[in-house]
Amino acid sequence: MKHEWDWSLADLSSIPKNGRKVFSCFSCGGGSTMGYKLAGYEMLGNVEIDPQMMALYKRNHKPRFPFQIPIQEFKAIPDDQLPAELFDLDILDGSPPCSVFSTAGKREKKWGKEHHFREGQAKQTLDDLFFDFLDVVEKLRPRVVVAENVRGMVVGLAKGYVALVKKRFEQLGYKAQLFLLNSATMGVPQKRERIFFIAHRRDLKLPKLSLQFQEQPVLYKEIRSGRGKPLDKNGTTFKRWVQRRPSDCSFGDITERVEGKESNFNTIIIHDERVPNTIASNSWFVRYDEPYFISATDIIRIQTFPRDYDFMGADVQYVCGMSVPPMMMKRIAKQIYQQWFAKLPI
């Protein structure tokens, strides 16, 4: 029996379509896009600033309306120069870059300042991008908005930012709900906590959305594949691995104990009997029982990417770490359809 996380892009052709249309901003490699497709939605296109990510998106998803430009440029395009279909969206999806809200590092010192989100891109004030996205909401007036971000947005001082986002939704005529979800409860072999703003236009008079997921946890041993690279026995990571302890089972991060550093995303020990930790683009994932990194296939499965995704030579962990797990978005999108769209005329 094939597991749900073991799927291919070719499988999408056999999924019944529900007649609803989605457009994605900050799409990266298309993790959310694949989730919507798995749930039966039609993806019209995307906005993505990164040339490499857009190349991946085009290769794997073949969008009708791709826009490789900053979100600020997209929202400035005159309405009559945009496809008419974008003004009749069921869902506007977006994952505004969120590193300034991550609980790793001195995040508050980054707020309000320009940063390179990635080398080769223009500097942007990352904490403004969510409001740029909301400007697109105002422009396109979709029926529903789904915006994903890191858990850090609901921690500490960032809660004030969340209040501003909710207020902006209200000003635009949308009723927004905020959900903190863990992908481990959604059929994803990964403990990935993310928040989702899910909003609908008030004129639709839809009921409150309920999202409660209780899928059976998927342990690492269920998705484990061939070995990744061996650890360098003269390197720091091998020394960390040698000093692993049973107490590392909870979060798997042993950098602080070994080197006295504060770290949330560094050397992560993966155990067979546990759900793997969040796939982050800047972490090292090492097996507990042998001095090897986990394999690229492991990363693809942990992120629930399709086995035939064409990475075009890009770093697998980076692409996956920057994406929403498709199975996570599939669960959400299905509930949005069942609770909301199934009650609305197309």
Q: Are strands 124-125 and 114-115 parallel, antiparallel or unpaired?
A: antiparallel
- Tokens encoding 161: 């930012």
CB 316 within 8 A of CB 21: no
Token representation of residue 346: 């197309």
d(CA 254, CA 259): 8
Residues belonging to the active site: 98
Looking at the DSSP assignment, which residues form a beta bridge with residue 197? 147, 178
